[in-house]
Amino acid sequence: MNSQEHQILPIKLGITNCYLIRGGDDYILVDAGPPKSISTFIQKLKQLMIDPTRIKLIFITHAHFDHMGSLAEISALTGGISAMHHQDKELVEKGMVIMPGGIGLWGSFLTVFLWAMKSQVKKNIKPTLVDRALEEKPFSLESFQINGKILPTPGHTAGSMSLVLNSGEAFVGDTAMSGFPRLTGPGPFVLGDDLKAMKRSWQLLLDHGARWIYPSHGKPFDAEFFRKYLGS
């Protein structure tokens, strides 16, 4: 892993790996975790000795509940600008809970489980205004003192996006995974809308210099895995 250019601090919120990326004296937060994560988030920031107001951008990779569930509370705590794909922005602002379809037999089984818990999840989701709608083109992070960009990477959802640093670290949300609920190492998320689109997004990440993949579920892994998977 190459973290020489920017400091990267993982923060586990519930089942989701979120990340702080330092640019200058401030930070970007990648994803806001599931509902009721604010106490854990505050505790983590205290352990890291980070003032919440130093978080200037909250980037949400997509509109599923385990990525945006605590956005309202984290936005209020930090005062940071929230940003996500324009297709998913309205879902968050309306407090909608969208459950993905399954990929393969295991994914189809998990979909049944997720739909069973949908009503309970919805009770804990707060409609939240999103400050900035991102479009179908790279969004530079230069104004946040980060050498990198945010790219549309559809597949898991139509509005999925990833953040890629110039030094090669890519924060991909659920565009790929390497831990549960996937059972066999790095690969596609077992839940999603379009596996073919997900593979195209992997190629896009490689084309933009991704060398090390930081998923929301599982440990970071070498982007060379993408090349092997795409070539098989």
pLDDT at 3 exceeding the cut of 60: no
Q: Lowest mean pLDDT: which of 50-64, 109-123, 168-182?
A: 109-123
**Dist CA 139 CA 221 (whole Å):** 24
Instruction: From 117, 118, 101, select the one nearest 188 (Cα to Cα).
Output: 101
Q: Of all residues in the chain, what percent carry a pLDDT higher than 90?
A: 72
Question: For residue 79, what pLDDT is reported?
Answer: 97
**Region for 35 from its dihedrals, namely left if φ exceeds 0, alpha if ψ lies in -120 to 50, beta otherwise:** beta
**Dist CA 56 CA 30 (whole Å):** 11
Looking at domain 8-121+129-231, its CATH superfamily turns out to be: Ribonuclease Z/Hydroxyacylglutathione hydrolase-like (3.60.15.10)
**Which has more confidence, 218 or 229?**
218
HSE-up of residue 76 (Cα within 13 Å, Cβ side): 6
Tokens of 36: 């009721």
pLDDT in tens, 37-71: 999 999 999 999 999 999 999 999 999 999 999 99
- Judge contact between 28 and 59, C-beta under 8 A: yes
Instruction: From 167, 145, 161, select the one nearest 198 (Cα to Cα).
Output: 161
pLDDT at 1 exceeding the cut of 60: no
pLDDT in tens, 62-104: 999 999 999 999 999 999 999 999 999 999 999 888 777 777 7
Q: How many CB atoms lie within 10 A of CB 118?
A: 12
pLDDT band for 109, please (50, 70, 90 cuts).
low
Q: Where do the domains of the chain lie?
A: 8-121+129-231
**Which has more confidence, 112 or 160?**
160
